[in-house]
Amino acid sequence: MSFDTVIRGARVVAPGGVSVCDIGIENGVITALGASLDGAAEVIEADGLIAMPGGIDSHVHIAQPSGPGVEMADDFTSATRSAVAGGNTTVLPFCLPEEGQTLREAVAAYHAKAEGKCHCDVSFHLIVIKTDPVTLGQDLPALIHAGHTSFKVFMTYRGMALSDREILEVMAVAREQNALVMVHAENEDAIEFLRDKAEREGNTDPAYHARTRPVPVEREATHRAITLAEVADVPLTIVHVSNGEALEEIRRGRARGAKVFAETCPQYVTLTADDLDRAGFDGAKYVCSPPPRTTDDWENIWSGIVGGDFELFSSDHCPFRFDDSAGKDVPGARKSFRNIPNGIPGVETRLPILFSEGVVKGRISLERFAAITATNHARLYGLKSKGAIMVGMDADIVLWDPELTRPIQQADLHHGSDYTPWEGFEVTGWPVRTILRGRTVMADGTLTGAPAGGHIARGAPEILL
Ligand code: DUC
Ligand code: ZN
Ligand code: ZN
């Protein structure tokens, strides 16, 4: 056999287990796994390294409209550069229509923004904020048909939140068209009640962002979202689960037979609400929704990661610059937490944090790491040729140095934000080479060429239960 590239001697994390072998690649596809593969134009010596499936981050926000005067810190160039540097080969951002745009127009404009800019592959989820007959009856079916087979609905944020009835109507389309609904589960009325009260009492610091979105607000909405999915008879993904009580609702739903998938993120096992209470305005760096909780909730979330409740570990990368009047410091943000743009950067740090806290600390196996960072994302969201080191799959492979210990530092990162919430957080294990469809796109933290990524149309979700 002849190959374009052979990766030699890595510990390969494949669906069938972990073994030392060579990986043969031809035309961007894995064509052989075995001992002593010869006949390659390029040989990558990988002794002592681990070969993982390229990370798939199925929850990132890129160049998303973010309200008047606010600009997201990443466009497709910087977000995918950061993704690749952090060991990812595919990311799934959300397409959100701007005021006055139809969903179809929004998707066309989003494609135009991504075209020629991506250092890794991308595929778009949709965000459904309108439920008029054109959106549900024409745009959504056409877009699903074109490979956008998942969409997010919000239970929070005035202007974006859907009523229960509207969520059911969206779920009915998902059922008919074989697509997957993702839900942001927080109760908007309860949040507004608490937020108005906090403001009336003069409690306007960033810390009140977390205090006005307490656990019951997420727990109730999680229960309601699962109930609605049971009524509509559809599977659903609950994204960014932050705490043990919401996780308990997911477990109870599953015990009843509901097809619920669950996602969590690094911030829910490494940050707490106290981070939003940092001196001055620094707490704004940690404002995201749902907010980080407590160290007890870290343990609750770990129990779900270790025990298999979470299929997905994503970043929810949603970057804003801190020292910027178009970012966290937008006019009004220091007057009230209500005005602070919501989200934190994390696409580059998701995998090192989980590798270090999960694999190196002995909580999860290499196989489970691969499943919740790549394989399950590919299967659940219909990326048929991605997510596993197997013959016939895209050669999306990341080589990890499992012993490299370093602190996370803004100075080393590649995103457009001017800070990382994990400044100084020490990790062991780092992705040292990212290979996208057979081509090395990052080596030792340096990107190695022009953007080589493209948009991937997805198939139907594979229901993992
Ligand atoms: N939800 C997300 O998924 N990301 C950022 C902000 C939000 O509310
Ligand atoms: Zn959300
Ligand atoms: Zn998000």
The CATH number of residue 428's host domain is 2.30.40.10
Indicate whether 29 and 151 sit together in one domain.
no
Same domain for 114 and 225?
yes
The answer on pLDDT for 465 being more than 80 is no
Block residue for tokens 């209500």: 338
Domain that holds residue 303: 54-367
Closest CA to 340 of 208, 156, 183, 214: 208
Residue with CA closest to ligand 1 atom 5: 343
Q: CB burial class (10 A; 0-12, 13-18, 19+) of residue 306?
A: middle
Q: How confident is the model at residue 119 (pLDDT cuts 50, 70, 90)?
A: very high
Distance 318 CA to ligand 3 centre (A): 6
Closest atom of ligand 1 to CA, residue 152: 3
**149-166 pLDDT tens trace:** 999 999 999 999 999 999
Q: Is residue 458 part of a domain?
A: no
b/e code 399-433 from CB counts within 10 Å (16+ = b) = bbbbeeeeebebeebbbbbbbbbbeebebbbbbbb
Cα(366) to centroid of ligand 3, in Å? 26
Amino acid identity, position 305: I
**Does residue 209 sit in the same domain as residue 307?**
yes
pLDDT of 386 above 70: yes
Per-residue pLDDT reduced to its tens digit, 186-198: 999 999 999 999 9
Residues forming a β-bridge with 183? 153, 238
The residue contributing the CA closest to ligand 1 atom 7 is 289
Are residues 10 and 90 both part of a single domain? no
Report if residue 379 sits inside a domain: no
User: Of the ligands numbered here, which is closest to the C-alpha atom of 291?
Assistant: 1
The yes-or-no verdict on residue 461 having pLDDT over 90 is yes
Q: Has residue 60 been placed in a domain?
A: yes
Q: Is residue 373 part of a domain?
A: no
426 domain-assigned: yes
123 and 243 together in one domain: yes
Q: How many helices (H) and strands (E) does the chain have?
A: 14, 18
The reply to whether 421 and 438 lie within a common domain is yes
Per-residue pLDDT tens for 26-65?
Answer: 999 999 999 999 999 999 999 999 999 999 999 999 999 9
Closest CA to 314 of 386, 373, 378: 373
Q: What is the pLDDT of residues 271-317, one digit of tens each?
A: 999 999 999 999 999 999 999 999 999 999 999 999 999 999 999 99
46 and 23, same structural domain?
yes
pLDDT 10s digits, 323-362:
999 999 999 999 999 999 999 999 999 999 999 999 999 9
Residue 307 lies in a domain: yes
Residue 33 and residue 63 in one domain: no
**Residues 86 and 164 both lie in one domain:** yes
User: What mean pLDDT, rounded, does the chain reach?
Assistant: 98
405: confidence class by pLDDT, cuts 50, 70, 90: very high
Radius of gyration of the chain (CA): 21
Would you say residue 381 lies in a domain?
no
Reference 415, options 128, 81, 36, 135; nearest CA is 81
pLDDT of residue 1: 80
Q: Structurally, how many domains does the chain consist of? A: 2
CATH number of the domain residue 170 falls in: 3.20.20.140
Mean pLDDT on 14-35: 97
The alpha carbon of residue 440 and the mean position of all alpha carbons in its chain are separated, in whole angstroms, by: 23
pLDDT at 209 over 80: yes
The reply to whether 226 and 282 lie within a common domain is yes
- What percentage of the chain reaches a pLDDT higher than 70? 100
Q: What is the mean pLDDT of residues 394-419?
A: 98
pLDDT of 268 reads 99
Helix (H/G/I), strand (E/B), else coil: 465: coil
| 157 belongs to a structural domain | yes
Clarify whether residues 406 and 301 are in a common domain: no
